[in-house]
Amino acid sequence: MALCKGAQRYVLLFEDARRGEALRTLGRWAGNPSLDFTWCDGAVLAQRIKGTKLVAAEDLEPGDPVYFTDDNKVARWPPR
């Protein structure tokens, strides 16, 4: 998952089992005054983390918005 804000890039790679750690990282970024990462940015990404579900490609319908994870699994956004 990534967020681009101006010249800064925030990239967060996590496994399903470590979603809690990923959410805590967003809080640390938002609380860091040297970063241009706001609590609103953190909230948006937190919703994506909480809502992202990996799906089998054969379960997708034509036109479903999807993306591929780094390990080539398919995820649907928004989740159903």
Q: In this predicted structure, what is the pLDDT of residue 79?
A: 54
Q: What is the pLDDT along the chain (80 residues), one digit of tens a residue?
A: 888 888 888 998 888 788 889 999 999 999 999 999 999 888 888 888 877 655 566 666 666 655 555 555 556 555 55
DSSP track, 17-63: GGHHHHHHHHHHHHT-TTS---HHHHHHHHHHHHH-EEE-GGG--TT
Domain regions of the chain by residue span? 2-76
Q: In this predicted structure, what is the pLDDT of residue 31?
A: 94
Q: In this predicted structure, what is the pLDDT of residue 43?
A: 87
Q: In this predicted structure, what is the pLDDT of residue 76?
A: 57
